[in-house]
Structure 1
Amino acid sequence: MEIQIRLFATLKDRIGREVISVHVPDSASVADLLRAVAEAYPALQPYLSSAVVAVNHEFAFPEDGLRPGDEVALFPPVSGGGETPSRPEIVALTTEPIDLNALVRAVATPRTGAVALFTGVVRGEEGDRQVEFLEYEAYLPMAEAKMRQVLAEIRERWPLVHGIAMVQRVGRMAVGEITVAVVVSSGHRHEGIFEAARYGIDRLKEIVPIWKKEVGPHGEVWIEGHYHPSPADTLRSSASSAE
């Protein structure tokens, strides 16, 4: 079923819309709804853990069920909710098109004066081969964990960075469509955001378990990399180096 959700305050500003919609199973709960919102609208992800859900003008909780026609609202705590995070982070694997403007808004803080953005797109030619479309596949739980590891590595190397977003699409994408985005913000352009964005995409290609299948007149072929992870690429190693 399709559920429409009204957004208020910070959430409305971050996505630039007052109403969004998601598709959930007929027996979905509020927890299922929030997971669907996080996938379809990655820019809202950092705010969902503290967001308040209302269904038919009453507070709702993760285990509560949803029915067709329910009026759903999503908003920050009415009072005592604190300020917008000063170091927002977004990690998402999604089947939906990537909204770059929403990601820029999501990583910006009141102190932000510069944002660097890297995007990857589907090429129509790969060497002497014509490409019709790509299909991306990911080992989802591990991919999200490794993407968060990359964000932690960026924080360690460029401490002046404010916000970071890393969003990877999965599924089928046509020539010209955006496949991945890495967005980094800081107070000034010389505080490492260009280097951090470059590092983010390079590191994603090394350790995040995502693969692409190239489809064209030549047939289908999985494109595999050549980097073999070492013990230094593990989360345990990253945690040790930060201590």
Structure 2
Amino acid sequence: MSDPLPERTSLIGLKILLFAHLREIAGTNHLALDLPSGSRVRDLKQTLKSRFPELGQRLDNVIVAVNQVFASDEDVLEDKAEVALFPPVSGGAGPTIVAVTDAALDLDALVAQIVQPTTGAVCVFTGIVRGETKRGEPHQTIALEYEAYVPMAEAKMRQIADEIRQRWPEVEGIALVQRIGHLEAGSPTVAIACAAAHRDMGVFEAARYGIDRLKEIVPVWKKEIGPRGETWVEGHYHPRRGE
């Protein structure tokens, strides 16, 4: 009796997009790639290193987005996913990261993306879904539903990063990330991070400015869900023309 044939490993098909120096080194801005089912982002990076040895350690510092959502090395890739690889976005003196995402916020990964060899201080502001509100009319919140006009929101976040650099030119890296979707009480909703060589170079003021400005001009809305029902929360600031 003959031995049974080994089962074939199922494959997933990926669309890979390369930008900036990654595109130049690889000689292409896109390619199709098949990987074994269950492969993670780190497996994709290793495969690209094998195919394009000249990329080398550059892949260790890239940002990866899967279907336009930032991904970590441990994220599992799905069939037909679009995977973009690019360096931290350049914006003035250092990297600028802006994103609207439905993925959980990884603050350590976010900080790592804006830290430079000269960085000695990072100030991070994180908004949290508050379960109990005591200011004004006290009430409880079960969850928030965040919605955004994503293309305009990300454009306005880039504008805020530019404004921060104009006011605090010694700030190096800047990150502004807003989460959308259904968020339970206690969940981080937004992260503003500013990096500089020293703590007295405006990082505290810049992070505060970033969240205040985001609340003014970035088109993001939230619906509050509580024991007494649901309601959309409206702000009061009306941006001026050109703002």
**TM-score of the superposition, structure 2-length normalised?**
0.69
The Cα RMSD (Å) is 2.6
* Contact residue 184 and residue 197 of structure 1 kept, 8 A: yes
Seq. identity, %: 52
Residue in structure 1 matched with residue 76 of structure 2 by the alignment: 21
Which letter maps to 2:203?
A: I
| Secondary structure of 1:188's aligned partner | coil
| Secondary structure of 2:163's aligned partner | helix
Name whichever of 86-95 and 199-208 sits farther off: 86-95
Greater gyration radius? 2
| Distance in 2, Cα, partners of 1:192 & 1:144 | 23
**Pairwise mapping of residues 48-127 of structure 1 onto structure 2 (< 5 A)?**
87-126=94-133, 127=137
**Pairwise mapping of residues 1-243 of structure 1 onto structure 2 (< 5 A)?**
4-6=40-42, 7=45, 9-12=57-60, 18-23=73-78, 26=80, 28=81, 32-34=82-84, 47=87, 87-126=94-133, 127-233=137-243
Q: Deviations over 1:186-221 (max 9, x none)?
A: 000000000000000000000000000000111000
| Distance in 2, Cα, partners of 1:216 & 1:140 | 26
* Contact residue 61 and residue 87 of structure 2 kept, 8 A: no
| Secondary structure of 2:125's aligned partner | strand
Distance 1:146 1:22, change over 3 A: farther
| Distance in 1, Cα, partners of 2:228 & 2:153 | 29
* Contact residue 173 and residue 196 of structure 2 kept, 8 A: yes
**TM-score of the superposition, structure 1-length normalised?**
0.69
> Where has structure 1 moved over 4 Å in runs of 4 or more?
none
Distance 1:230 1:49, change over 3 A: closer
Q: How many residues align?
A: 184
**Unpaired segments ≥5 residues, structure 1:** 35-43, 51-84, 234-243
Distance 1:49 1:205, change over 3 A: closer
Distance 1:12 1:48, change over 3 A: same
| Secondary structure of 1:190's aligned partner | coil
